[in-house]
Structures are given as structure tokens and as C-alpha cells.
């Protein structure tokens, strides 16, 4: 790998890390923000709705914008919106304005949703040029950023640092990191009108649609844990809130470990085998959480759930980029499916949980993950990363 490509890859590590750090910094101060706003549960729900609206707008527009302008401008605008969002959230909390806080969250969601698809397109291209798996570690860098943001946030809480000063400090760190990283992303050529001529055939590619189903299932497995795992362990298995938060930390740690270890495993065994095995672990973990009445067994299943969900998104994105011509459109399509499932799926589970209980609602996730296990053989033979795996097939 030459120096320019190494710098490009390192820039992407930083650009994946920063959104994770900023997002986790906000999450750790959620109770303080609620108190500063003097918000009821319903009001807080409306404030959080800004994040959802912004995220969906960003995700649904990112593919077209990346095709029109290239990855670097979209990443730059998306990251800039996130850098603007954190102090806006802090200022909204400081003056007790729910509307300003919601606007800040909308900017965060818009920036994250818009930049994520473009960064995945860029990461898939780097992976193709490098000839080795890169995307799992890039997504691991986002997970590592959430860990760093959570640690900084917990320290700020322990020191009773005001929310505004905490988020301003995080923003300064992020600005310095982004200014160093962005020049490493090349000015890619925009597809422009040519993109449209290739878009319809992408939708008709059967293998790509299978990859889309896989990423939908495993993104939902990740998103459902992020939104519901603590409450699931409290309501479904009788854990107290402190223990349930600790179990969520275990899940996040296993996601990070799984993503950073995914690259070497894919190089050794191939995408299909690694993704099929990890999805099977996830299915076992989910089944134990859903059906085991023993809380200890359910707690011990959480690492399996985390490992199972870790590689779904990055490996599917990587496979999409290698699955045929017009790589950017393919990555954009699969990434959009994954992010929509990640964001829209958990609220749907909440609706089911309201009627049937969270444990039974998770059966939907289990069924989809089990389906993904059966579909992973379709990834065999896609791209250079599969050379060894394909050679072992009869």
C-alpha cells in the first residue's frame, strides 16, 4: 500500500471516529439536558424526534448528492453540520430551549446521515484499491469513538462540568481532528448524469438485493440493541438499571472487538464464511435473550448478540462495492437500506413491544437474522477478498 493510500485510509479512520465521539458525548448528557430543559417524557420525545428527522433526510439524500458532487464535498458538509450541532445542543440546554436543542439534534442527524453513506462509498473504494478488508475496521473506529465519547462524558458528569462547556470541548477536539483528516480524502470525480443511467440496473441485480436483505437484518440487530437492550434486560429479565447499562456496555465492547478483528478473519476465511458465522452467533444470542427464562443465561448471551451484529454492516457494504459495475451506486443503495433499518426498525419494535412485550417483539429481529444466515453463501466469489474462499469451493 503506497503512502497516499495509507494517508487516505487513516483519514477515514479519523472521520469515522469523530461522529462516534460526538454522538456519544451528547448521549451521556441526556439526563442533564432533560433536567435543564425541565422536559417531560413527551417533550423529550419531541426533542429527540429532531435527530430522527435529520438522520432520515441525510441518509435519503446522501446517495444522490454523492453521485452529483463526489464523496469529499458531501463528507465535508456532513461533518461540518455535526461540528455545528454539538454546541447548538449545548446552547439549547444552557438557555432551557427545547426548540434550539431539537434543531441541534436535527443538524447532528442530518450531518451523520449525509456523511455516513459518502464515507462508506469512500471506504469501499479504498478497500478495492488496497486489496484487503478495510470497512470492518472503519466501522470499528466509529464504535471506538463512541467509547471515547462515553468516557469523556462520564468524566464531565463526574466533574459536574456544564453541558455547554463539555460539548464545546468535544467540538474543539473534533475540529482539530477533522482539519487534519479531510485533506487526506481526494477530490473524487462526481458521477453526475451518468449515475442515473446505471441506477435502474442496480435495483434489478438479484445478488445486490440479497446483500440488501442481509444488511437490513444485521443493521436491525444492531439498532434494536442500541435502542432497547437496557430496557429489554430490565423489563424482560428483571435486571436493575445499573446492571442493564453494564450489559449494554458489554454489547458495545463486543461490537468494537468484532469489527477490529473482522478484517484478518475475512482475509483468512472469506466474507461468506465470516458473515455467516457471525450472524449465526447473533441468532443464538438473540434466541437465548428472547426465550431463556434464566437471567444469567440471558446476560451471557449478550456478547454473542454483539459479535453477531458487528460485521453485518461493513461486510455487506464491502460486498456491495465489489458486486458489479457502478460501485458508488451499489454501496449507496445498500448503505441506505442499512441505515433506514438501523433508524426506522427500533421504533417499530417499540410499537410491537407495547402490545406483546419486548422479548416477543425481538422475535422479528431473530427471524431476519436467521434469514441472513441462509443468504450469506450468495457473497461467495465477490471481489478480491474472496480469492482464497472461492478457491476452496468445489
pLDDT band at residue 284 under the 50/70/90 scheme: very high
Report pLDDT digits (tens) over 112-138. 888 888 898 888 888 888 888 888 888
Q: In the prediction, which pLDDT does 316 show? A: 86
* DSSP-based three-state secondary structure for 326: coil
d(CA 68, CA 304): 40
Other beta carbons within 10 angstroms of residue 188's beta carbon come to 19
Is the pLDDT reported for residue 295 higher than 90? yes
Whether residues 330 and 244 fall in one domain: yes
The answer to whether the CB of 366 falls within 8 A of the CB of 221 is: no
| Half-sphere exposure for 195 (CA within 13 Å, toward CB) | 20
d(CA 100, CA 89): 7
Residue that has been written with the C-alpha cell 460485521 in this structure = 311
Whether residues 166 and 208 fall in one domain: no
Q: Which domain holds residue 171?
A: 1-182
For position 122, which CATH number holds? 1.20.1250.20
Of 19, 328, 299, 4, which is closest to residue 144 (Cα–Cα)? Answer: 19
Is the pLDDT reported for residue 218 higher than 80? yes
Per the structure, how many domains does the chain have?
A: 2
pLDDT band at residue 325 under the 50/70/90 scheme: confident
Lowest mean pLDDT across 57-61, 244-248, 256-260, 316-320: 244-248
Residue that has been written with the C-alpha cell 434543531 in this structure = 103
- Average of pLDDT values for 209-232? 86
pLDDT band at residue 198 under the 50/70/90 scheme: very low
Other beta carbons within 10 angstroms of residue 3's beta carbon come to 7
Report the greatest alpha carbon distance in the chain.
Answer: 67
Whether residues 202 and 166 fall in one domain: no
User: Is 15 inside a domain boundary?
Assistant: yes
Is the pLDDT reported for residue 201 higher than 60? no
Whether residues 270 and 370 fall in one domain: yes
Q: Which helix (H) or strand (E) holds 332?
A: helix 327-356
Q: In the prediction, which pLDDT does 350 show? A: 76
Q: In the prediction, which pLDDT does 364 show? A: 93
User: Is 189 inside a domain boundary?
Assistant: no
In a 10 Å sphere around its CB, with 0-12 CB exposed, 13-18 middle and 19+ buried, how is residue 392 labelled? exposed
Is the pLDDT reported for residue 46 higher than 70? yes
Please work out, in degrees rounded to the nearest 5, the angle formed at the alpha carbon of residue 25 by the alpha carbons of 167 and 181: 80
Percent of the chain with pLDDT over 70: 91
Whether residues 174 and 198 fall in one domain: no
Q: Which of 182, 217, 238 is the last residue of a domain?
A: 182
The answer to whether the CB of 60 falls within 8 A of the CB of 336 is: yes
Whether residues 141 and 230 fall in one domain: no
- Average of pLDDT values for 14-29? 88
Amino acid at each position: 500500500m503506497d503512502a497516499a493510500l495509507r494517508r487516505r485510509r487513516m483519514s477515514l479512520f479519523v472521520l469515522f471516529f469523530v461522529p462516534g465521539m460526538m454522538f456519544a458525548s451528547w448521549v451521556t448528557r441526556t439526563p442533564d439536558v432533560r433536567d435543564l430543559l425541565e422536559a417531560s417524557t413527551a417533550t423529550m420525545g419531541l426533542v429527540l424526534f429532531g435527530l430522527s428527522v435529520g438522520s432520515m433526510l441525510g441518509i435519503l439524500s446522501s446517495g444522490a448528492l454523492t453521485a452529483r458532487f463526489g464523496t469529499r464535498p458531501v463528507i465535508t458538509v456532513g461533518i461540518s453540520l455535526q461540528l455545528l450541532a454539538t454546541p447548538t445542543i449545548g446552547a439549547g440546554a444552557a438557555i432551557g430551549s427545547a426548540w434550539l436543542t431539537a434543531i441541534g439534534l436535527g443538524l447532528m442527524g442530518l450531518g451523520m446521515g449525509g456523511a455516513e453513506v459518502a464515507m462508506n462509498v469512500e471506504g469501499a473504494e479504498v478497500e478495492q484499491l488496497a486489496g484487503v478488508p478495510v470497512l470492518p475496521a472503519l466501522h470499528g473506529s466509529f464504535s471506538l469513538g463512541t467509547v471515547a465519547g462515553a468516557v469523556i462524558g462520564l468524566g464531565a458528569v463526574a466533574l459536574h462540568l456544564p453541558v455547554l462547556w463539555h460539548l464545546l470541548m468535544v467540538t474543539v477536539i473534533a475540529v482539530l481532528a477533522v482539519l487534519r483528516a479531510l485533506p487526506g480524502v481526494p477530490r473524487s470525480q462526481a458521477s453526475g448524469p451518468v449515475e442515473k443511467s446505471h441506477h435502474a440496473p442496480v435495483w434489478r441485480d438479484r445478488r445486490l438485493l440479497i446483500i440488501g436483505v442481509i444488511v437490513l437484518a444485521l443493521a436491525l440487530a444492531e439498532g434494536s440493541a442500541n435502542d432497547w437492550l437496557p430496557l429489554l434486560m430490565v423489563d424482560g429479565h428483571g435486571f436493575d438499571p445499573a446492571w442493564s447499562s453494564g450489559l449494554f456496555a458489554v454489547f458495545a465492547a463486543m461490537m468494537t472487538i468484532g469489527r477490529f478483528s473482522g478484517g484478518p478473519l475475512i482475509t483468512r476465511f472469506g466474507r461468506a464464511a465470516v458473515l455467516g458465522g457471525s450472524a449465526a452467533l447473533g441468532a443464538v444470542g438473540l434466541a437465548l435473550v428472547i426465550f431463556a427464562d434464566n437471567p444469567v443465561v440471558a446476560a451471557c448471551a449478550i456478547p454473542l448478540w454483539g459479535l453477531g451484529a458487528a460485521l453485518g454492516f461493513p461486510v455487506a457494504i464491502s460486498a456491495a462495492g465489489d458486486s458489479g459495475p457502478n460501485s458508488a451506486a451499489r454501496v449507496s443503495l445498500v448503505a441506505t437500506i442499512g441505515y433506514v433499518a438501523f433508524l426506522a426498525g427500533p421504533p417499530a419494535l417499540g410499537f410491537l413491544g407495547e402490545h406483546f412485550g419486548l422479548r416477543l417483539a425481538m422475535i422479528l429481529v431473530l427471524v431476519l437474522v436467521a434469514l441472513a444466515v441462509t443468504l450469506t453463501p450468495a457473497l461467495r466469489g465477490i471481489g478480491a477478498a474472496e480469492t482464497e474462499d472461492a478457491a476452496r469451493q468445489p
